[in-house]
Each structure stands twice: as C-alpha cells, then as structure tokens.
Structure 1
Amino acid sequence: MQFFDVTRQLGEDTLVYPGDPIPRMIREDAGDSLLTEVHLGTHTGTHIDAPAHYLKNGATVDTIPLPLLIGPARVIDLCRVRGAITPADLSGRCEGAERLLIKTWFSGEDAFDPGYPALSVEAARYLTENGIICVGMDAPSIEAYDGDGSVHRHLLERDVVVLELLDLTGVPEGEYTMIALPLRLRGLDGSPARVVLCEKPKSGGIS
C-alpha cells in the first residue's frame, strides 16, 4: 500500500499569498532542549479554508466534521489547462466522487505566480451540482488572483471543504483514501493541515 504526503513543507521560505504573514521560526536553545516559537497565518502552506474565512457567521475550522476530511478522494490531472478551470475541463471527471483533488501545473512551484490555475465560478457550481463535498488544489488559492470571492462563497456556503496549496507532484490520477487534518484552532477561519493520500487496495484475489 502506497502513501502520498501531499502537504508542502512549512518553513520560512514557504510560498505565501501576497499580504499573508511571512512564516518565522525563532529557535531557542534551552540547554537540555530546543524550543521554537512559530509565527504564521491560518492560510500558510497547505491549508484548509473554513466557511468563516468568507462568511462572517460561518463555521470555524475546529468544527468541520471529520467525515468531510477523511474518506475516498479522486485525483484528476488538469496540468494542460492554462487560465481558469471551466466545467468543460471537469466534465466526466468528477461524477461519482465526493472529494476531488485537482492537479495542475502549479504543483512543485515554489514562487508565487498571479497566473496560477483556479476555478471559475461556473466550475465551482458544477462541482456542487455533482455532489462534491471537498475540493482541493495545488494552487495558492482555489480562486483567481483577481477574483471577488464568489468561488469561495459558493463553495463555503454549501459547507464544501476547501484545501489549498497541496503538492500533487508525482501523484497519478486515480482513486485514493484521503486524510486531511487541520490544527484544532478554536474559532478560527482556517488552519495549516497535513494531507495524506493512500492508494486504495486493488480488488481481486491473488492468482
């Protein structure tokens, strides 16, 4: 059984969205132990957006139900797409899935690019119409850099879990089991998360 850690390493050189806090790790040698003071934003590195990120009275990250964060997930490869991801790009790719992770050309990039791939509003609607309960991307945001929040609001108003800044490098298209666990930050709008995929065992006996 193969595991894929699709979490970006979190350090002082981690890619951040413009305006977000720059991560800082202040190490202290206490003699018989090491201690580190960590400064970062709730949307630093691979992270989960809670509804409260865009909805003032929305659910906070510590209240997201675990069944949304753990379960079957499908990875699709849209590395060929440049610009906005549309319903045509998703057509026939997400039917029957509950959790969808979208691999794009941005996986493995380590510098911010305002032209990163993102969902169009129409694509977000397509996903919710097809029963998606969790959607993740390897881009800094699921919404275009010049977006007005409509993509986020459409998904979060419907309690769809949003994962951003995954690293799907080396992960083939296919069906997996996903575990995506945020820090249990009480009352906050998001959290860095560790996201792991496990290949589903092949069906059939040994010949």
Structure 2
Amino acid sequence: MKYLLSSLILLIVSFFSCSPKQEKVEKVEMEIDFPMGKLIDLTYEFSEETVYWVTSKEFELEEVAKGQTEKGYFYSAYNFSGAEHGGTHIDAPIHFAENGQSVDEIPLENLMGKAIKIDVSEKASQNPDYQVSQFDLEFWEAEHDQIPDGSIILLQTGFGKKYPDKMEYLGTDQRGPEAVKDLHFPGLAPDAAKWLVEERNIHAIGIDTPSIDYGQSQNFGTHVALMTANIPAFENVANLEKLPAKDFHIIALPMKIKGGSGGPLRIVAIVE
C-alpha cells in the first residue's frame, strides 16, 4: 500500500501516453515515490466569493438544468466562466515570459513531488507589503538544511486567514484599473526569486496571497525572474498553516488549457 499512489499516477500517465487518441504525445517516463499519509486540500472552492485580480472577470456559474426530468431521474448541469487567474490557480511561465511554457506544456514532474514551507507570517502581520527575502530563505535553510533539489516551495504569509474578505486580503474591495494602486499584500522579493533561480533547483513555488509579486509591484520582477526560467507559480493557496516546514509532498494539477497562461488549480498536500 505504501506506493499505491505512485503506481496509480504512473499507470494513468502511461495509459494516456499510449492511447491511440494521443498519437502526438510522447510516452512520459516518470516515477515519483509518494508515501501514504494525511491528505490536506490546499484549494479554495470556486463560487461568487472567489477572489480574482481586480481587473479580471470573476467566476460565474450559470444553471442550465436542475431537477427531476419527465423521465423520472434527477439531472443537473451548469455553465461556468471566469478568468484564468483567480481563486487557487497556476501562473504558467508564458504568463510573464514570451517563450515560456503554457499551462498544458508544464512537465508533470514540476507539478508534483517533495515540498517545503517557509513561514513569514509573523513579519507579514506587521507589514502587508512584506516581501519574502533571500535572508528568509537562507534562515529556513539554517534551521532545516539546504532547499532540496526539485522542491516545490510554499510561502506562508498568514494572509490565507483573510480569504475571501477582499478588503483584508487584497487591500481593497474596489474593482477595475483604478483599484490596482490600492493593492496591499505580501509577495516574494525579485532578488530572492533570482537567487532561487540561480542558486537553487526548484520545480515550482506557491503562496497564500493573490500574486507571487507583492501588491504594490509595478514591474512584476518576481514573475519575470521565475517564469523566464520556466518555474510556475501557484497563487491563492489555502490552508498552509496546516503544513509542517518539510517532509510533505505536493500534487498540483491545473486545468489543462492549450496555450493558456494559467488556470484553476487543484492542489493537495500529502503529509508523511
């Protein structure tokens, strides 16, 4: 039973790689040992409360049918719409890098595997514009050893406890271009992102705020640094306070939108 999840993932990947309907897809050879453990959902549900960027189309659910049919069975169906970047979602590299991977091109091994959590919530509670620094990253390493190769890093700022209160979480409950100047929430500093790209080997990074760049960013230097190196970012990640600093794994599977710059993300932690 220990490697049941690993075997299942490998079986699914192999099946779709060999399917006659997927002739253009090369077989993916990937085996990741996922220990069985406690599952923790790190995903917010999508609803009218879902937090989106202030200039983006919000989530809408349109009822098509709901109720008993003339033939005696119950039936329900809905249409949904919304921007790629809202709620718990992924930023694909192409979001900020012209030649970066689109969401359907991100390798599966970048979306699942061993992970660590860096908690800066105490600092962020004193400064809503806090930017996670290289010092914070090195301080974590001083306590826990060097960030392992191939890691997924999750940044806990404590802002998850404010979700979905837009005034508390975003800094404003207004929408439109004029609201951008009022955004206040923590992010990862661009120089820290550059350090991760140049000095460490990570597969992805996530945060419990609306953006991997802090709210007052003007040039989105952190997005650019990460995504130029084909490192995707997970945003609006939930329940990070439930995770330890290390010794857990992540499975983060986005909606596979061909050519997309991002999309809704279902992300789960497996805590050993």
Q: TM over 0.5, yes or no?
A: yes
Q: CA deviation at 1:131?
A: 1.8
Q: State the identity as a percent.
A: 28
Q: Aligned residue for 1:135?
A: 205
Q: Aligned residue for 1:5?
A: 41
Please say which structure displays the higher CA radius of gyration.
Answer: 2
| SS of corresponding position for 1:29 | strand
Does residue 81 of structure 2 align to residue 39 of structure 1? yes
Note the residue ranges of structure 2 that are not aligned, 5 or more in a row.
1-36, 125-129, 172-182
Of 106-115 and 187-196, deviating more is 106-115
Choose from 238, 242, 246 the match for 1:174.
246
Contact 2:100–2:230 (CA<8 Å) still a contact in 1? Answer: no
Contact 2:120–2:157 (CA<8 Å) still a contact in 1? Answer: yes
What is the rounded CA distance, in whole Å, between the counterparts of 1:36 and 1:75 in structure 2? 36
What is the rounded CA distance, in whole Å, between the counterparts of 1:143 and 1:133 in structure 2? 18
What is the rounded CA distance, in whole Å, between the counterparts of 1:65 and 1:187 in structure 2? 14
What is the rounded CA distance, in whole Å, between the counterparts of 2:243 and 2:89 in structure 1? 18
Of 88-97 and 152-161, deviating more is 88-97
1 or 2 for the larger relative contact order (CA 8 Å, sep ≥6)?
1
Does residue 127 of structure 2 align to residue 74 of structure 1? no
Q: Match of 1:162, as an amino acid? A: A
| SS of corresponding position for 1:127 | helix
Q: Aligned residue for 2:264?
A: 192
Q: CA deviation at 1:96?
A: 2.8
> How large is the Cα RMSD of the aligned pairs?
1.5
| SS of corresponding position for 1:11 | coil
Choose from 149, 155, 158 the match for 2:226.
155
Q: CA deviation at 1:86?
A: 1.1
Choose from 144, 165, 175 the match for 2:236.
165
Q: Aligned residue for 2:21?
A: none
What is the rounded CA distance, in whole Å, between the counterparts of 2:154 and 2:253 in structure 1? 15
Q: CA deviation at 1:20?
A: 1.2
Q: Aligned residue for 1:106?
A: 159
What is the rounded CA distance, in whole Å, between the counterparts of 2:131 and 2:256 in structure 1? 32
| SS of corresponding position for 2:40 | strand
What is the rounded CA distance, in whole Å, between the counterparts of 2:81 and 2:188 in structure 1? 30
Note the residue ranges of structure 1 that are not aligned, 5 or more in a row.
201-207
The count of residues paired between Structure 1 and Structure 2 equals 200
Q: Match of 1:93, as an amino acid? A: W
Q: CA deviation at 1:42?
A: 0.7
Q: Aligned residue for 1:122?
A: 191
Q: Aligned residue for 1:88?
A: 135
Q: Match of 1:108, as an amino acid? A: K
Contact 1:75–1:175 (CA<8 Å) still a contact in 2? Answer: no
What is the rounded CA distance, in whole Å, between the counterparts of 1:159 and 1:139 in structure 2? 21
Taking structure 1 as the reference length, what is the TM-score of the superposition? Answer: 0.91
| SS of corresponding position for 1:91 | helix
What is the rounded CA distance, in whole Å, between the counterparts of 1:17 and 1:105 in structure 2? 19
Contact 1:3–1:199 (CA<8 Å) still a contact in 2? Answer: yes
Choose from 45, 49, 53 the match for 2:91.
49
**Structure having the larger proportion of residues in helix:** 2
